[in-house]
Structure 1
């Protein structure tokens, strides 16, 4: 559901400016004591609790300024993959959240509070799930080793005056990312060599811990140097390399080191992942900015080179292109056999739901999703699609019942709140519509409007009712969150 909406692509924010640079490491045994537990330092500069506050604030800024992909299917895929890696990582101190940004430029970055952001362009450059996992494992390691906090601590030891300016630039970026980047760059202009040396150490460490995470999670560790080598060759003579190679340069020494380290691990050759191929095809069909004819050509060419068991993923991508181009008969002819073969696959369920709605056959979509719910009652993909189908059928009360459960389980997903707002609007329930819209505003740090909407909802509610009490309690919570957010800017 929720087919692609065209959005403008904005520049990268603070974290890309803080992303850590090149590595010139030495080779050591993969599981030896050369992987020290140094990710727990930096507490004197920035506590874990403060990192979580910064991460939450910055995530809200990203939602307001970046074209984040709110796609339940892709979100579930990267979340499952990310947490599989986190479960095998070292020194995990925070919860993790993985987000996908609609941007064809190759990049990934990590920031405070366990947040890892991936550009959709990564799916166009990685060829296997292990390669994608290698990028994610590297970024996860930047977080578990607390590289941003340690970088600030290093600055504090070397030049105490700089840390205050650096922190001020970081906080400025919460309110104005572009201004924050400019201030940060100016702050660090006199400390280039020191920053470069420390960044080399961080990149080395992220590679090493990332490779161990890959190994423990059952991925092919050789995927990291293979991906690095291919990128270096592709952009060797480029006058404008992608952002990822600006923030994570790939000198030959780094490629050589990761290759030598990978060779010391026991070889893993996991089977190709159909979910990865399906996610990749979905990105090509809906988030690559390719025109339909070009997307179909890409899918056709890559299907010819794919393993036999993975070819259906490219058929799925073609079905999405047909569906989004209103070529419904072609979409059905391509998609229906895939779904019949794997009726519980979330990629196929989501696409079939869209197809049935496009064909004005919402009752078939409801029956399909009802059956799927029995096998997987907590699936976010199934629940949000089921609510969408109920809404399309005009069953607004039933849709609201499902969405109340969904938003409780997934409070950070704007899809649920948006659909809940629309369903309440159709029933004329203005106060609940306002409350749902307020939650979307709060997710984007638009505190004043969010509080205003909840205040209006409280005024519309019956005096002394449970609804009014709920709205007033939420206003109090938002006031606390707003004050905390403002304090980060003024600290």
Structure 2
């Protein structure tokens, strides 16, 4: 939500909880509190707020922290100094002649017999002077509530105490059925007459019901109540008892029952003998079965899995699909951190099939997945909840285990008549779900069926876990991080968008999996050898949080948190990032100045300060900050990248070009490097080289038309003996997989 919508929501909630709560059908407790689960249904009925979920309302109070409210876990109130004390003082009052109350349909029969009393977590029954308000309150729990009339004035004279809660609501501690005019029970449907009753549910004539609960009948008055409601007279029940007694006295019926029992015993004995015979034959013939199976396997060729080259071809198609469907984080610091952790695992892998690449998806879900060809994806939601680098390394090791085990390729081997394009669409559908381009992914039934068949099995999960366990130990980390991450994924499985399946839907997790991981630890314990850089992880988490949330909300959140803990440098860093995301550049630069001056022992913040200057268009200041830092820290590729870009914007392509050439091999976002190299060569009037790198840029982002244009231009302008020309001549344009969909 933008700032205007947040203000409108705050204004509406303030009116609901401070001015006229009864006009919205809300009753506050003595302290002015109301539960979120009671406030949310009332808010949804207001115009413009039907899209807000209970979780969204909770996040509004927990993150936005509106100044007029106090929030505690699952309930909220307006601050006492802003609320009238009369709103929570419910004085005794004489009610009008009639009041209205809503009854849940499943409690209809119970109320007819016992009356209406509050539940275990409520103190009052809420009544209304208007039938429409009673219906509005009732529809928050049931679609079709039952509305009963209460003879309020008459019952008040008989001693029932009513309390006024605003203009249209009254409260009462309980009502006997004699003071209510309750509509009759609806007729029983034919299919419900023979349905098995649940505990406490009323039923038709002839059905046994718990004591004190009236049966559900065709009409009111078809049963007789004695002194206590527990005695329910039913002619059908007496008739059934009478039939049972006469049947037990019939000798023919008893003889038939004995014969049926003898036949059942004979059949059971015959079945047991068959089972023992099969068990005996299996033991005798087991060696022969093994020899026969071995002969078949050795004499017939095994169908080969998808080749490495085919999987590499599929990798490029999959990457285009992912980039077209989900937002990827391009921030070099975040992507570089994930890639660095993943590289620690890859250093322990022998015989890697592919060149692995790591990507970060902007999504709140706790998810990570790997695609064929070495593509590994991590969601920002997972980055935000992990506590250590060890947990991230364990997740990446597991996903690399799936790729090295070639589990998708194995499953494709069992599927007949499926080509590379259909397989790519099936895999994308499995991991990405049906987002904005979901209709294109599942355009064919072949892709849909293939997606269902490609899900990981429990055997795949165990193999990936065992591979990951060995790599984690070799890297000097703690493999118990696999268990801690699984517990978090179970706890927060509801997070994320509905367009992308969560981790548990593609990776089966059960007690067996956690058990064998614990057994592995008991057999092969390994201790973490290297200290973790928690500062860098915390910095990455703050940046990911700001990038994936509304900057206006984050500004409000960090300001309020800084009032409580002003010395927290990460809160100050988050505030600076929020200002920058909201394009309030002066405030962002001022906050960065405070951050850098207060943390001289952390030069990493200087790079962020220089990036902020670059974003604000102050390129000379960015060069003056990042230039000296880059000389002191030559290994920081992020600083070099933005230094080169600042040089380029200042009209100094000659200074930017050597830096970009160095970064070309290691930068985590190749399209951005190709674009800046193309701009450099264009500024240096080397048109052939410029078109070459523009071609590389557009090809990497999937724009085939622009890529072909720049390729043709480059081949005309480049010398025929140059390396770039030879590279273009050998290179083949790859089609966008969404353009060709085959069954």
Q: Shorter-chain TM-score: what band? A: 0.7 to 0.9
Q: 2:418 aligns with which of 165, 173, 176?
A: 165
Equivalent positions of 1:441-480 (< 5 A) are: 441-459=698-716, 461=717, 466=719, 472-478=725-731, 480=732
> Alpha-carbon deviations, 1:68-107, whole Å to 9, x = none?
2221111211111110011124653322111112222332
In 2, the alpha carbon distance for the partners of 1:238 and 1:66 equals 13
**Change beyond 3 A, Cα 1:212–1:61:** same
The answer for the alignment partner of 2:638 in structure 1 is 381
Residues 57, 174 of structure 1: 8 Å contact kept: no
In 1, the alpha carbon distance for the partners of 2:329 and 2:676 equals 16
Residues 90, 144 of structure 1: 8 Å contact kept: no
The answer for the alignment partner of 2:16 in structure 1 is none
Counting matched residue pairs gives 426
> Alpha-carbon deviations, 1:245-300, whole Å to 9, x = none?
211243333334434434542343854522211111110122x2233433663798
The answer for the alignment partner of 1:145 in structure 2 is 405
Deviation at 1:142, TM superposition (A): 0.5
Does residue 506 of structure 2 align to residue 247 of structure 1?
Answer: yes
Q: 2:628 aligns with which of 371, 386, 405?
A: 371
In 1, the alpha carbon distance for the partners of 2:517 and 2:368 equals 19
Q: 1:420 aligns with which of 677, 698, 702?
A: 677
Q: Name the SS for the 2:648 alignment partner.
A: helix
Deviation at 1:237, TM superposition (A): 12
In 1, the alpha carbon distance for the partners of 2:497 and 2:545 equals 26
The answer for the alignment partner of 1:205 in structure 2 is 463
Deviation at 1:133, TM superposition (A): 1.8
Residues 114, 143 of structure 1: 8 Å contact kept: yes
Does residue 440 of structure 2 align to residue 221 of structure 1?
Answer: no
Equivalent positions of 1:262-273 (< 5 A) are: 262-264=521-523, 265-268=525-528, 270-271=531-532, 273=534
**Change beyond 3 A, Cα 1:315–1:214:** farther
Residues 356, 364 of structure 1: 8 Å contact kept: yes
Residues 457, 508 of structure 2: 8 Å contact kept: no
In 2, the alpha carbon distance for the partners of 1:131 and 1:341 equals 27
RCO comparison, higher one (Cα < 8 Å, 6+): 1
Residues 61, 444 of structure 1: 8 Å contact kept: no
Q: Name the SS for the 1:75 alignment partner.
A: helix
**Change beyond 3 A, Cα 1:394–1:98:** same
The answer for the alignment partner of 2:545 in structure 1 is 284
In 2, the alpha carbon distance for the partners of 1:301 and 1:266 equals 39
The answer for the alignment partner of 1:99 in structure 2 is 359
Deviation at 1:243, TM superposition (A): 1.8
In 1, the alpha carbon distance for the partners of 2:563 and 2:410 equals 45
The answer for the alignment partner of 1:125 in structure 2 is 385
Structure 1 vs Structure 2 CA RMSD: 4.1
Deviation at 1:360, TM superposition (A): 6.1
- The unaligned stretches of length 5 or more in structure 1 are 1-41, 156-161
> Alpha-carbon deviations, 1:219-262, whole Å to 9, x = none?
23222212212332344899979522211243333334434434
In 2, the alpha carbon distance for the partners of 1:136 and 1:304 equals 36
Residues 129, 273 of structure 1: 8 Å contact kept: yes
Residues 394, 472 of structure 2: 8 Å contact kept: yes
Q: Name the SS for the 2:579 alignment partner.
A: helix
Does residue 327 of structure 2 align to residue 67 of structure 1?
Answer: yes
The answer for the alignment partner of 1:231 in structure 2 is 489
Residues 672, 697 of structure 2: 8 Å contact kept: no
- Deviates most, 408-417 or 73-82: 408-417
In 2, the alpha carbon distance for the partners of 1:303 and 1:152 equals 57
- Deviates most, 372-381 or 234-243: 234-243
Deviation at 1:427, TM superposition (A): 6.4
Larger-Rg structure: 2
**Change beyond 3 A, Cα 1:366–1:484:** closer
In 2, the alpha carbon distance for the partners of 1:483 and 1:124 equals 36
Q: 1:51 aligns with which of 305, 308, 311?
A: 311
Q: TM-score, normalised by structure 2?
A: 0.50
In 2, the alpha carbon distance for the partners of 1:254 and 1:298 equals 40
- The unaligned stretches of length 5 or more in structure 2 are 1-301, 429-436
In 1, the alpha carbon distance for the partners of 2:323 and 2:710 equals 19
